Structure 1
Amino acid sequence: MDLRLSPDDRVDSRARKPRAQGAKPRSSGGGKPRKPKNPKRKRSGGMKFIVGLAYFCFTLLLIGGVAVAGIVVYYGGDLGSSSTWEVPQRPPNIRVLASNGQLLTNRGQTGGEAVGIHELPEYVGQAVVASEDRRFYSHFGVDPIGLASVAVEMVRARGVTRGASTITQQVAKNLFLTPDQTLGRKVQEALLAVWLEQNYTKDQILELYLNRVHFGSGATGIEAAAQTYFGISARNLSLGQAAMLAGILPAPSYYNPKSHPDRARARQQLALANMVRAGYITEAQAQAAQADINAEITTQRVAGAEYYVADWVETLMNDYLGEVNSDVVVDTTIEWDLQKHAEFVVKEAIAQHGAERDFSQAAFVALDTDGRVRALVGGADYTQSTYNRAVTARRQPGSAFKPFIYLTALQMGYTPDTLMVDEPLNYNGWAPENANGRYVGPILLRDALAFSVNTVAARLAIDVGPENVVETAYRMGFSSNFQAVPAIALGTQEVSLLELTAGYTPFANGGYGVVPNVITRISTVDGEVLYEASDAGPGRVLTDEQVGMMNDMLQTGVQAGTGRAAQLGNWPMAGKTGTSQRNRDAVFVGYTANYVGGVWLGNDDDSPTRGLSGGAIPAQIWRDIMTEAHQGLTVANLPGHYVRLQDRVAVPMQDTVPATGIPVTIDQIQGQPGQQPQPMPQQQQQQPQLLGPADDGIGNLLNGLFGG
């Protein structure tokens, strides 16, 4: 039996719900038929993915934007209101010039002054832009294209390849922020960069960058870099030099032209190639720049003796201006050629004689007769020691201080023709001796000073009173703190070489006191005068006769006495040697009617030299420097007037003291000290004559005993 159902007999195998009780049956024929529904189209899997991805990205961007905005607000809040932002002032620079306008050096934190973009060759800025930020003139402070490019590079390299900061961002970092590599700092950098772009022109931003960026070797700013590496102003940079400076910016220490010249040249070539690519220069110009020997071989500017001058000038700025808040230009009294010649002579003397005589340091200062410092050497080598031994150091001048003892005596009635006695002395336990232990008995003040007789100087100091010697020294321009004791006669109290030299200047200028001066004018870079030296000074401190008497005695010292090595050809000159105890300091101070110069030799640790005296190498140094200083000048006599007495006259206190060499005390000396007898009627006066070895037996005797 066939149990299969026909199609008509088949029923839906699915279970049907029973009709609810009371429900109306469905109409089978009279009702209106329903329209069949259109089937929904199914979306493809790819379309669903794209839509989902777009939705996800949009959501992600929205969330990211909110997050970025939050970060910006959070870190931007630390910067305060933008209305309070302002570019901080650049540390001031002090440009120090010689009297002829020659740059001595710059002083300040940056090492060079700020220069305007319009003062520089056009290719200086172009080299920096081409190497550091080629879209500088088109972006708004942050370079999105550059950021994307660097990001791709870093992904490919799986590490940091290079920075993406624009020039504007670097300016923002240098001006306002710390160098910390943090998210907060980068956000603040971007904000400040946008602010800079809104408030400054592109050229102003580039100028800020060039004057604030660090170039290595302590040089901040393009001017300092040009001076440091090439010894010229940035205003005079060649194309090759500009390219080299632009090339070293990413890593100034690594590409330093002084220590790594090959690396610097490679960076120079890359910077020139970037300039060609940017259209700033042609290939031919780039090749010519690479062949520029001035750009390839950097000049390591030597820190010469003029740096001692610059240091001194810097210390004086507060006295003249108070706090320096902007760049200034200081015109000094320094004669550039004389300064460099003095430095050469001093270094040569140390090289030739330092080892054999056991001295390692030297100082020199030269003034004109108005007290203007014309040359100053503060030590053997500034690169080895910046300590200024001409201005700052205090050393014993030895017998070079004796002229002020004799000057005090002249003011109390003594004359160069006063006869004293050179013999052993004991004053309250103080027993000064002559350097050679010899005594000559009766001796004129003129000869006693010329041959640096210690006992006579000591007797004078006691006779006139040490307190009067101190007063004389202060009137002559000394500023050291002196003790009024008899030993001052032998130069045991410390002074600077500068004040010692200035103290001799009234002998050279006719009796007028001076205050040593190295600054003539201070002005802003725009030419506004802030300070100008005046001619005012202490005025006359010596009479014409006193000047004449001192010059009479001090001329004898260089013609026949201990300073003979300083003789300056046919130039009338005078001076005095000085040697401290155990030959620790050797000094010579000499002068003409045009210049006064002082020389010191010794050691910083106060150790003794090997027989060094003021009449030897110091006197020779003085002569060699002053020979150059007097080139082209008209020979002039020393000022003052004094007529020597024909006969030597003894003072009463010496009458009963025989020249036996037997020790005596001051109490044993008879008569009034320092009293000069009146000339007898039969005594005639004659024109001054220098005492030399051929004058009489005294000259021969003194030269034999004290000579050299």
Structure 2
Amino acid sequence: MKRRQALVPFAAFCVLAGILVAGTMAPAAIGAGLLSNRVSDSVDAISAQLAAAEPPLTTTVTDRTGAPIATLYAQYRLPVAAAGIAPAMKAAIVAVEDRRFYTEGGVDVQGMLRAAVNDSTGGALQGASTITQQYVKNYLINVVDRTDPLAQQADREDSLARKLREAKMAVQLNATMSKDDILANYLNVVEFSGTVYGVGAAAKAYFGTTADKLTVPQAALLAGMVNNPSIYNPYTHPDKALQRRNLVIDDMVTNGSIPASYAATAKAAPLGLLPDGPVTPSGTCLGAAPDAGFFCAYAESYLVHAGFTADQLATGGYTIKTTLDPRVSQVTKDAVDANVPTTQDGVANTFAVVQPGQDGHQVLAMVANRNYGTDPARGETSTNIVANASNEFGAGSSFKIFTSAAALVTGKAGLNTPLPNPDSECFPVPDTHSSCYTVHNDGHYADPITLADGLATSPNVAFVGLESQVGMPAVLDMAYKLGLRNTLATNDAGRTPDPKSGNPQYSEPQSEYFKNLLSFTLGNSPVSPLEMANVSATLMSGGVWCPPNPILSVTDRNGNAVPVRQQACERVIPTGVANTLEAGLSKDTTSGTSAEAARAAGWTRPDIGKTGTTQQSESVAFVGGVNDYAVSSMVFADGPHPQEICPGTPVHLGECGHGAFGGTVAAPPYFHAMSQLLAGVPDQPIPPPDPAYLTARS
């Protein structure tokens, strides 16, 4: 019975429509039945869309404790139930938009008759839409068709067909929903300006309050805005917004919502806005704290690669709980800032921390002295210099890890194998007709030198000779297996290969480009700092590679768990090889290239490490790990005019003769951060080498 009664206003409107159409479109008079049939054909489909489409909500990104680190959104919306909206707000919107809202049946036949007669006789166009019809229109524009400008244009067009469609849908809604729910849904979907949608977000953005606490002047201002959010924007047009607000207050008096005695007081109140608003959180990871921006951006890209779309993340109302450890993140951020100030010209210091494990490698921190942002003058960058292959100059001798691992696996050398190590050598280049590749040692070393001592002191000749013996395919394959998956897919500029380029340096991925270049083990190619930390995690996990994972869980707007697709972990080298290589890397901080910096820092813990320094000192690195922290610390030139990096307080660009080294400039932030994080924590010993990998087997 209720549904039949509710359809009466729509039937009356159809009769009215038929009369008007017949009168204004003669001689080809179109009956109301024909137009109604056309409308009915589309209404059912659109009603299904309305039922299926959920309004865009904000997605919250948190650290592993649940504390928010960023908000992602396309429409800033904080939905509230009908009971959570102040009576003043409901009264204000009804007074200015639809005075007969609580008595009409979804359409206002009286108002439509007046508007239709006015329109048909050449008067100014009048809408006569009820709040229920406006809800339909706004839901179509702001939700269903929000990514389709042409469809939005159709949702706004002044046509009888569009008004009939809205009217029929409004009548349907009125028959199935309570007035309070219709009003609340309307107030949750409507735009207030810019990216602010819904009364919950508007209350917070304009007044710093919640929807249930809105006062009459505040409610009247917001109610007045929905008619034209641009014209009545109180920040850009305060005079017009004030006039409109006071008009709404007068309408509230006329509608009996507030007494006339209160109107003068309400109209005398200032706008009372938050300064410099509307105040909204950044809708991207650019709004994250300095120690969380790169991590947030990586988490977002990780989910996109896992199958989420950017639009889903910005509108789905998810809660994304990440693996970010706030203590580790802040301590490492402080360490790199102390080493290289945020605004230091031309010098970046990245730091990544990954937790080893055979069933997953959780990323705990991704920081840099640079902050994730868009203002270079403040030391900001919008490139993810921690995750991407952004260290264009390379990680130096830390790449000798890959040659060593390949030699152990193939049996070409064991940890105690003596390696030829003259001061210089010219090595034949495989599969080419070019001249040999000449390599010099930087300093004096034993000749021969064991692989273990070579890892600690890092002579170039011994490792290029070992690389030549093992073969480039095996070394590159090992680099991929241990963790340089995305790095090796980039070209020698750290970017996506360009097949149109005639230069292999830019057209080929590194995995192809370096197949005949023995310089690879010297680490002169672009590399991802995060992936180098994950290389350490693979070794510390007994030879099991897992993707560096930033996600603990994702839940949807209703609190339901959302599965996240992830690459499976892989055993990439035998446990014996991983343990033996760890043992070989355990000398770096005691008798190797970072020992002096370790002593200066009071560092005595058992750990693994490998430093790296490029030929011109444009990049220096420390890659290693201690306890349950696998790390990479890289300091490299990141400006348009790269130069030699010089040690000092602070680290800087210049011409300092011998330049910086991985042990003197990249290792100190590691000692600084890990000393704090492990204070009071027992040492974890390094696994002993496997006897099977102490000597060569082939």
Compute the TM-score of the two structures, normalised by the length of structure 1.
0.65
CA RMSD in angstroms, aligned pairs only:
5.2
Indicate if the aligned counterparts of 1:117 and 1:203 stay in contact, CA closer than 8 A.
Answer: no
SS at match of 1:528: coil
Return the match for 1:408 from 406, 409, 421. 406
| In 2, Cα distance between equivalents of 1:520 and 1:172 | 38
In structure 2, the partner of 1:170 is 134
| In 2, Cα distance between equivalents of 1:544 and 1:62 | 86
| In 2, Cα distance between equivalents of 1:244 and 1:568 | 63
**1:495-506 equivalences in 2 (<5 Å):** 495-506=527-538
Q: Displacement, 1:243?
A: 7.6
1:365 counterpart = 2:330: no
Return the match for 1:391 from 387, 408, 411. 387
Q: Which amino acid in 2 is paired with 1:387?
A: T
1:334 counterpart = 2:324: yes
1:463 counterpart = 2:454: no
Instruction: Summarize the Cα distance change of 1:182–1:434 in structure 2 as closer, same or farther, 3 Å threshold.
Output: farther
Indicate if the aligned counterparts of 2:40 and 2:165 stay in contact, CA closer than 8 A.
Answer: no
| In 1, Cα distance between equivalents of 2:383 and 2:363 | 18
Q: Which amino acid in 2 is paired with 1:577?
A: T
Return the match for 1:382 from 373, 379, 399. 373
CA offsets 1:327-367 (integer angstroms, 9 cap, x no match): 54332212245445655665676645621xx23x5644321
In structure 2, the partner of 1:431 is 437
SS at match of 1:408: helix
Q: Displacement, 1:426?
A: 0.7
In structure 1, the partner of 2:9 is none
Q: Displacement, 1:524?
A: 3.0
Q: Which amino acid in 1 is paired with 2:524?
A: T
**1:80-159 equivalences in 2 (<5 Å):** 80-81=40-41, 82-86=43-47, 87=50, 89-90=53-54, 94-107=59-72, 109-110=74-75, 115=79, 117=81, 120=84, 122=86, 126=90, 129=93, 133=97, 135=99, 136-142=101-107
Indicate if the aligned counterparts of 1:397 and 1:585 stay in contact, CA closer than 8 A.
Answer: yes
Return the match for 1:196 from 147, 170, 173. 173
Instruction: Summarize the Cα distance change of 1:291–1:181 in structure 2 as closer, same or farther, 3 Å threshold.
Output: closer
In structure 2, the partner of 1:477 is 483
1:523 counterpart = 2:560: no
SS at match of 1:636: coil
Q: Displacement, 1:415?
A: 1.8
| In 2, Cα distance between equivalents of 1:126 and 1:608 | 61
CA offsets 1:536-567 (integer angstroms, 9 cap, x no match): 73258443575255345344247652475575
Identity of aligned pairs, percent?
A: 22
Q: Which amino acid in 2 is paired with 1:478?
A: L
1:636 counterpart = 2:683: yes
| In 1, Cα distance between equivalents of 2:478 and 2:17 | 88
Q: Which moved more, 1:168-177 or 1:133-142?
A: 133-142
In structure 2, the partner of 1:25 is none
Structure 1, gaps ≥5 residues long: 1-59, 645-650, 652-673, 678-708
Return the match for 2:158 from 171, 175, 182. 182
| In 2, Cα distance between equivalents of 1:536 and 1:210 | 45
| In 1, Cα distance between equivalents of 2:95 and 2:605 | 61
CA offsets 1:302-338 (integer angstroms, 9 cap, x no match): 5126454444444444665677696543322122454
Indicate if the aligned counterparts of 1:241 and 1:294 stay in contact, CA closer than 8 A.
Answer: no
Q: Displacement, 1:205?
A: 2.7
SS at match of 1:531: coil
Indicate if the aligned counterparts of 1:320 and 1:531 stay in contact, CA closer than 8 A.
Answer: no
CA offsets 1:584-615 (integer angstroms, 9 cap, x no match): 44443342212223344546677524426544
Indicate if the aligned counterparts of 1:417 and 1:445 stay in contact, CA closer than 8 A.
Answer: yes
Instruction: Summarize the Cα distance change of 1:213–1:582 in structure 2 as closer, same or farther, 3 Å threshold.
Output: farther
Instruction: Summarize the Cα distance change of 1:166–1:267 in structure 2 as closer, same or farther, 3 Å threshold.
Output: farther
Q: Displacement, 1:206?
A: 3.4
Indicate if the aligned counterparts of 2:89 and 2:214 stay in contact, CA closer than 8 A.
Answer: no
| In 2, Cα distance between equivalents of 1:75 and 1:346 | 69
| In 2, Cα distance between equivalents of 1:137 and 1:579 | 75
| In 2, Cα distance between equivalents of 1:183 and 1:546 | 72
Structure 2, gaps ≥5 residues long: 1-15, 141-151, 376-380, 429-434, 490-510, 647-659
Aligned residue pair count: 578
Q: Displacement, 1:401?
A: 1.8
Q: Which amino acid in 2 is paired with 1:640?
A: P
In structure 2, the partner of 1:36 is none
Indicate if the aligned counterparts of 2:445 and 2:459 stay in contact, CA closer than 8 A.
Answer: no
Q: Which amino acid in 1 is paired with 2:75?
A: T
| In 2, Cα distance between equivalents of 1:244 and 1:348 | 48
In structure 1, the partner of 2:585 is 553
**1:4-403 equivalences in 2 (<5 Å):** 64=20, 67=23, 78-81=38-41, 82-86=43-47, 87=50, 89-90=53-54, 94-107=59-72, 109-110=74-75, 115=79, 117=81, 120=84, 122=86, 126=90, 129=93, 133=97, 135=99, 136-142=101-107, 165-176=129-140, 178=153, 180-184=156-160, 185-186=162-163, 188-221=165-198, 248-253=225-230, 260=236, 279=257, 299=279, 301=281, 303-304=287-288, 306=292, 308-317=294-303, 320=306, 327-339=317-329, 351=341, 354-355=344-345, 358-359=346-347, 363-370=350-357, 371-377=361-367, 380-384=371-375, 386-393=382-389, 395=392, 396-403=394-401
Instruction: Summarize the Cα distance change of 1:145–1:313 in structure 2 as closer, same or farther, 3 Å threshold.
Output: farther
In structure 2, the partner of 1:589 is 623
Query: Using CA pairs below 8 Å that are at least 6 residues apart, which structure has the higher relative contact order?
Result: 2
SS at match of 1:426: strand
CA offsets 1:408-437 (integer angstroms, 9 cap, x no match): 3344342268465251121123435458x5
Instruction: Summarize the Cα distance change of 1:309–1:611 in structure 2 as closer, same or farther, 3 Å threshold.
Output: closer
1:576 counterpart = 2:610: yes
Q: Displacement, 1:569?
A: 4.5
Q: Displacement, 1:505?
A: 0.7
Q: Which amino acid in 2 is paired with 1:365?
A: A
Indicate if the aligned counterparts of 1:133 and 1:166 stay in contact, CA closer than 8 A.
Answer: yes
SS at match of 1:611: strand
SS at match of 1:529: coil
| In 1, Cα distance between equivalents of 2:605 and 2:238 | 54
| In 2, Cα distance between equivalents of 1:676 and 1:531 | 45
- Higher Cα Rg, which structure: 1
